[in-house]
Amino acid sequence: VVTVIELLSPSNKAAGQDGLGKYLDKRNEFLSSGCHLIELDLLRGGQRLPMSAPLPPGDYFALVGRVGHTPRCQVFGWSLRAKLPLLPVPLLPDDPEATLDLDAAFGSAYDSSFYSRRLPYREPLAPPMREDGNAWVRERLQSAGILP
């Protein structure tokens, strides 16, 4: 295994529960085992995982940890309204980094899984959006034909 991509779950971010501690142990194992780590936090709720420096502005985050560079890592932050970023994917030392188009990957997974019909879009968002976020989300869902 050269690079692991981890998508955080609510249990990974739940303070005071076993899931957070177990995930942090797993994260440290990856980073100390000679394996690169890409960590995706696509959850607005829950406790942010501990970092040695403040996170950049954003609602969502991606961490790219490279072998030999721990505890430093590259952190990407973006808002709900922004396009998901292109992320570097570290490979073997003599290989150039690949690029993960997170926006394209998310769109493909969303479309092929029929989430537009399966998710409870009529329910209020939890946690609530900041400022005028609810109106923006409603407008996007209406323009996509998901809400009337």
| pLDDT mean for each 10 residues of the chain (148 residues) | 94 79 87 91 86 88 90 90 96 96 94 85 82 82 88
pTM given for the model: 0.88
pLDDT of residue 17: 67
- Report how far Cα 137 is from the mean position of its chain's Cα atoms: 19
Question: Which residue, among 98, 47, 56, has the nearest Cα to 79 in the 3D structure?
Answer: 56
The label of the residue with tokens 């709720």 reads 45
User: What pLDDT sits at residue 31?
Assistant: 81
pLDDT of residue 30: 86
Q: What's the CA gap between 8 and 39, in Å, rounded?
A: 7
pLDDT of residue 145: 86
Q: How far is CA 134 from CA 116, 124, 125, 130, in A?
A: 17, 9, 8, 8
**pLDDT score, position 23:** 87
